[in-house]
């Protein structure tokens, strides 16, 4: 055989490099779901030498609740298989492994689930059949889930954890196939901050475990607490792994010296036991403990030795639920119900632990149970074991929801109609050619309701709708402990985060039987203000006498009394209708409006006379209307600023003046066009300045200003503002323009049209007509430009209400200038010199002297 042939032969099959000797139990089925659980809570690694072969570590410390978790998954799968409405013609099986609370074992178990247990299998060009597992329920530990999801996420294998809460797992770039039925630590942190705010605890200590769970919680807590202004951390300490008695002594010493009466702990049972041993040793009392979900319901901490210190603890707990039929299923567990040996090793270990017996021979690699031999005839109902306690199902309820989420996703996939599928070419996934990422597609969209009434669905981060129970450790007179529910914190799509607490039920472990006060500094008394202590959090301050005109803990709308012991409302200032300046400006505005109306009436009455008809009477009427609007818009600058007046005042001013100047510009252009048309061969110029063209030009120029105003209001709208910088004891109400650029563009556009009108009128000032309107336009535009050139520096240097007064004065002055310059001479001729109101007189022929 050639080398090439040999290589081809070797690549035609695939073999596992190593078989892991794992503790597990299995059930065959058409589709297999995997599970990772903490059935043992410790492991012992063998000593390694250079010559020894690697051995699997042995697991120690059987954990009945952990085994109940695994059996809850087995129960859920059994219940689904008996449900005729879910996954018909498909039988679910399972492969459940024990992680022994050890990362190496948990990671090995996850790899075994993903790759299968067969020692070898042939490679084919077309892969047929289902993967070894379609989804994994677990791992309960955040660190384990991070390691597992980092690898299995590359293959889009769905992982639904029931206990991993690290908010870092929300990163869909790193963990695209990770889901969970327990809220993340981000929500747990928010819930704890809500509790702190509820009781007014602004000064607290934070202890976290030295792992992903604790360190990520610490980062989230610090940032969220700062953003919510809910308080400060007196200290932040990391609880070490292992028996580091010196470090625990240092931490408790620091807690004892701190003035913080509230201690928040994100840690595990083993950390809390070592911490409380040191707390008892130093007799640190008077603390209010706030527990994370990792140790809220740990019975091992509710001991007579610890309860004098931990009594009254408030804790976050996983939502409890009811699973009908679970206890009967647990009672039917028997070591011989499946195959012997490896297939049900966890059941055998549970049996040995519960009845203190041993099977002969014991499973290889596992610590032998002491006592008599197990017969298999033992009865679970004859012993007291927490394994059968189903009165407070919390992690089990999350496991139950996780299994059903995978089942409903698979059922939705089976309902797909060929040709209407979500995949390439509208194809559907099938069990014969199933890829894990295809199931993940349906898992992201799953939505169902449990028999307990809770809705299950996943958001874009893979998180289920978060909800926690608030628990309280009540220390009874007989020395017993009752962990009672005193509230709920949840997040809904419509109301956001909600905290509900029944304070009457809460047990406080203090002589006064009330919530403790935990603040760094007490509130300052009247007449004093807070002064930050250098190098300390914002919650720590000294109280010093208030400066003149200041009063502590009040809003900026008040000013201190001369004695500095009470608040009096600040004086307010704005351009009012009731003050003399406001009355004068209002009177001038109304006077200008009345004059415009009066002139409009005169022009309407004499509309057939040559003076009115000359140079497009329609533009004259439109000019009078625009001047009337200019006078009226000045009233928006008077009175207390409000949002609508701030937005409308500049828009109305800008559009009114552009309409006015546009009419003047078009009138000037018409004058030039008529003069040129009177020359030989100049008649063609008039066709571009007909009535329709004049109206269109005015409309187009005005629409440009309207667009500028709209863009300004939409992007950076002017808003009312309370200004206290001008005077300490006075509030100046003013409109902030929002965008200086918008205001400048508005004024600049008006100025551009005004300058253009002035230049054209100046060029036409010497035309031979006896009544040359270009002269009047030149004079009026000169007044207009002069007023607004003077306005800019006056406006910039005028504070408060005087800035509004300057702008109103500029509006009125320019409007009166235009009105008098343009219509004064015409009204003089119409009313006082009617003999000059003839076509001949206006054209310079047959002028009559008065």
Q: Which residues pair with 179 in a beta bridge?
A: 160
Residues contacting 260, CB < 8 A, separation 6+: 203, 204, 205, 234, 235, 518, 520
Q: Which residues pair with 720 in a beta bridge?
A: 735
Coil vs helix vs strand at 484: strand
| Type and span of the H or E element at 784 | helix 773-796
| Type and span of the H or E element at 43 | strand 40-44
CA dihedral 272, 275, 278, 284 (to 10 degrees): -90
pLDDT at 4 over 50: no
- Exposed, middle or buried, 61 (CB in 10 Å: 0-12/13-18/19+)? middle
pLDDT higher for 487 or 618? Answer: 487
729: confidence class by pLDDT, cuts 50, 70, 90: low
Instruction: Assess contact for 178 and 462: CB atoms under 8 A.
Output: yes
DSSP 8-state assignment for residue 369:
P
pLDDT tens figures, 700-716: 999 999 999 999 888 88
Instruction: Assess contact for 487 and 499: CB atoms under 8 A.
Output: yes
277: confidence class by pLDDT, cuts 50, 70, 90: very high
Token couple for 456: 């299950």
Instruction: Assess contact for 397 and 318: CB atoms under 8 A.
Output: yes
CA dihedral 626, 631, 635, 637 (to 10 degrees): 90
- Exposed, middle or buried, 675 (CB in 10 Å: 0-12/13-18/19+)? middle
Give the pLDDT confidence score for residue 36 in this predicted structure: 96
Give the pLDDT confidence score for residue 130 in this predicted structure: 56
Nearest to 290 by CA among 347, 243, 221: 221
Give the pLDDT confidence score for residue 821 in this predicted structure: 86
Give the pLDDT confidence score for residue 340 in this predicted structure: 37
| Type and span of the H or E element at 379 | none
Residues contacting 553, CB < 8 A, separation 6+: 523, 524
Rounded Cα distance between 238 and 34, Å, is 34
Token couple for 839: 């076509």
pLDDT tens figures, 504-538: 999 999 888 889 999 988 887 776 777 777 778 88
Token couple for 435: 């890829």
Percent of the chain with pLDDT over 90: 33
Nearest to 80 by CA among 338, 402, 308, 404: 404
pLDDT higher for 119 or 432? Answer: 432
Give the pLDDT confidence score for residue 341 in this predicted structure: 34
pLDDT at 18 over 70: no
pLDDT at 290 over 90: yes
* Mean predicted lDDT score pLDDT of the chain: 83
681: confidence class by pLDDT, cuts 50, 70, 90: low
Rounded Cα distance between 258 and 722, Å, is 42
3: confidence class by pLDDT, cuts 50, 70, 90: very low
Instruction: Assess contact for 218 and 206: CB atoms under 8 A.
Output: yes
Give the pLDDT confidence score for residue 477 in this predicted structure: 85
Token couple for 659: 């309409």
In whole angstroms, how far apart are CA 219 and each of 166, 216, 461? 11, 5, 19
Residues contacting 741, CB < 8 A, separation 6+: none
Give the pLDDT confidence score for residue 12 in this predicted structure: 53
Q: Which residues pair with 492 in a beta bridge?
A: 496
pLDDT at 15 over 90: no
Nearest to 138 by CA among 104, 107, 167: 107
Calculate mean pLDDT across residues 97-117: 88
Cα angle at 833 between 830 and 839, to 5 degrees?
A: 70
Give the pLDDT confidence score for residue 700 in this predicted structure: 92
807: confidence class by pLDDT, cuts 50, 70, 90: confident
Token couple for 315: 């804790």
DSSP 8-state assignment for residue 571:
E
Give the pLDDT confidence score for residue 262 in this predicted structure: 95
pLDDT higher for 809 or 673? Answer: 809
Instruction: Assess contact for 661 and 754: CB atoms under 8 A.
Output: yes
The dihedral built from the CA positions of residue 451, 325, 269 and 401, taken in this order, carries a sign that is negative
Half-sphere exposure of 622 (CA within 13 A, CB side): 22
Calculate mean pLDDT across residues 800-820: 87
| Type and span of the H or E element at 185 | helix 185-199
Give the pLDDT confidence score for residue 480 in this predicted structure: 86
Instruction: Assess contact for 638 and 796: CB atoms under 8 A.
Output: no
Query: Residue 94 CA to chain centroid, in angstroms?
Result: 39
Rounded Cα distance between 564 and 560, Å, is 5
Give the pLDDT confidence score for residue 342 in this predicted structure: 37
Instruction: Assess contact for 65 and 269: CB atoms under 8 A.
Output: no
Rounded Cα distance between 657 and 648, Å, is 14
pLDDT at 555 over 50: no
Residues contacting 477, CB < 8 A, separation 6+: none
pLDDT at 582 over 90: no
pLDDT at 49 over 70: no
What pairing do the DSSP bridges indicate for beta strands 120-122 and 13-15?
antiparallel
Give the pLDDT confidence score for residue 850 in this predicted structure: 36
Half-sphere exposure of 36 (CA within 13 A, CB side): 35
Give the pLDDT confidence score for residue 11 in this predicted structure: 47
Nearest to 100 by CA among 22, 46, 178: 22
What pairing do the DSSP bridges indicate for beta strands 447-449 and 455-457?
antiparallel
Work out the end-to-end distance of the chain between its first and last CA atoms, rounded to an integer number of angstroms: 132
Rounded Cα distance between 335 and 716, Å, is 74
């Amino acid at each position: 055989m050639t080398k090439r042939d040999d290589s081809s032969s070797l690549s035609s099959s695939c073999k596992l490099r190593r078989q892991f000797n794992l503790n597990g139990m299995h059930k065959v089925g058409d589709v297999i779901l995997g599970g990772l659980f903490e059935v043992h809570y410790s492991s012992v690694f063998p000593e390694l030498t250079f010559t020894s072969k690697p051995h699997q570590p042995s697991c120690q410390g059987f954990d009945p609740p952990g085994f109940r978790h695994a059996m809850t998954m087995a129960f859920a799968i059994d219940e689904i298989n008996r449900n005729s409405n879910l996954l018909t013609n498909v039988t679910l099986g399972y492969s459940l492994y024990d992680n022994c609370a050890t990362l190496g074992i948990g990671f090995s178990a996850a790899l075994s689930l993903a790759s299968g247990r067969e020692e070898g299998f042939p490679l084919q060009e077309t892969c047929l059949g289902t993967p070894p597992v379609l989804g994994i329920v677990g791992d309960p530990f955040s660190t384990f889930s991070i390691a597992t999801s980092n690898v299995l996420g590359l293959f889009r294998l769905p992982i639904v954890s029931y206990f991993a809460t690290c908010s870092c797992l929300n990163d869909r770039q790193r963990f695209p196939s990770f889901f969970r039925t327990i809220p993340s630590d981000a929500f747990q942190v928010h819930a704890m901050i809500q509790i702190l705010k509820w009781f007014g605890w602004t000064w607290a200590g934070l202890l976290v475990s030295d792992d992903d769970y604790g360190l990520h919680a610490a980062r989230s807590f610090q940032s969220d607490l700062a953003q919510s202004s809910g308080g400060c951390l007196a200290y932040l300490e990391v609880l070490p792994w292992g028996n580091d008695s010196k470090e625990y002594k240092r931490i408790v010493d620091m807690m004892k010296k701190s003035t913080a009466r509230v201690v928040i702990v994100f840690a595990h049972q083993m950390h809390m036991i070592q911490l409380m041993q040191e707390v008892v040793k130093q007799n640190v009392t008077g603390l209010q403990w706030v527990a994370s979900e990792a140790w809220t319901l740990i019975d091992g901490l509710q001991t007579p030795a610890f309860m004098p210190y931990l009594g009254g603890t408030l804790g976050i707990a996983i939502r409890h639920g009811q699973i009908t039929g679970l206890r009967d299923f647990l009672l039917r567990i028997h070591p011989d119900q499946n195959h012997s040996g490896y297939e049900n090793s966890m059941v055998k270990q549970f049996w040995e632990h519960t009845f203190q017996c041993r099977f002969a021979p014991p499973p290889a690699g596992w610590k032998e149970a002491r006592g008599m031999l197990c017969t298999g005839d033992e009865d679970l109902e004859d012993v007291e074991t927490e394994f059968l306690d189903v009165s407070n199902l919390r992690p089990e309820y999350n496991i139950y929801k996780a299994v059903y989420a995978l089942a409903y996703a698979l059922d939705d996939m089976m309902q797909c109609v060929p040709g209407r599928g979500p995949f390439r070419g509208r194809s559907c996934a099938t069990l014969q050619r199933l890829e894990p990422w295809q199931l993940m597609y349906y898992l992201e969209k799953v939505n169902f309701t449990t028999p307990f009434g809770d809705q299950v669905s996943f958001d874009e981060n893979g998180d289920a709708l978060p909800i926690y129970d608030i628990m309280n450790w009540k220390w009874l007179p007989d020395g017993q402990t009752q962990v009672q529910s005193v509230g709920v914190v949840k997040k809904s799509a419509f109301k956001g985060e909600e905290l509900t607490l029944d304070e009457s039920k809460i047990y406080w472990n203090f002589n006064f039987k009330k919530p403790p006060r935990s603040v760094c500094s007490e509130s300052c008394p009247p007449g004093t203000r807070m002064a930050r202590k250098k190098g300390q959090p914002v919650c720590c301050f000294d109280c010093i006498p208030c400066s003149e005109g200041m009063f502590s803990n009040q809003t900026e709308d008040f000013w201190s009394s001369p004695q500095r012991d009470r608040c009096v409302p600040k004086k307010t200032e704005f351009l009012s209708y009731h003050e003399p300046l406001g009355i004068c400006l209002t009177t001038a505005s109304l006077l200008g409006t009345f004059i415009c109306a009066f002139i409009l009436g005169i022009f309407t009455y004499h509309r057939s006379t040559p003076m009115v008809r000359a140079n497009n009477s329609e533009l004259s009427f439109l000019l009078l209307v625009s001047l009337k609007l200019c006078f009226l818009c000045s009233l928006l600058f008077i009175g207390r600023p409000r949002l609508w007046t701030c937005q409308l005042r500049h828009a109305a001013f800008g559009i009114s003046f552009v309409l006015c100047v546009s009419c003047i510009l078009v009138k000037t252009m018409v004058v030039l066009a008529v003069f040129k048309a009177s020359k030989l061969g100049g008649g063609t110029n008039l066709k571009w300045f007909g009535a329709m063209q004049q109206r269109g030009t005015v409309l187009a120029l005005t629409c440009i200003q309207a667009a500028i105003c709209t863009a300004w209001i939409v992007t950076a709208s002017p808003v009312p503002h309370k200004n206290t910088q001008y005077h300490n004891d006075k509030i100046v109400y003013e409109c902030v323009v929002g965008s200086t650029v918008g205001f400048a563009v508005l004024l600049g556009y008006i100025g551009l049209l005004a300058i253009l009108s002035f230049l054209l009128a100046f060029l036409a000032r010497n035309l031979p007509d006896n009544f040359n309107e270009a002269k009047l336009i030149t004079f009026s535009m000169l007044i207009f430009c002069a007023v607004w050139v003077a306005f800019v520096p006056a406006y910039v240097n005028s504070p408060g209400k005087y800035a509004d007064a300057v702008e109103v004065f500029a509006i009125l002055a320019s409007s009166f200038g235009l009105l008098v310059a343009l219509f004064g001479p015409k009204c003089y001729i119409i009313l006082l010199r009617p003999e000059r109101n003839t076509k001949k007189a206006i054209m310079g022929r047959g002028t009559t002297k008065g």
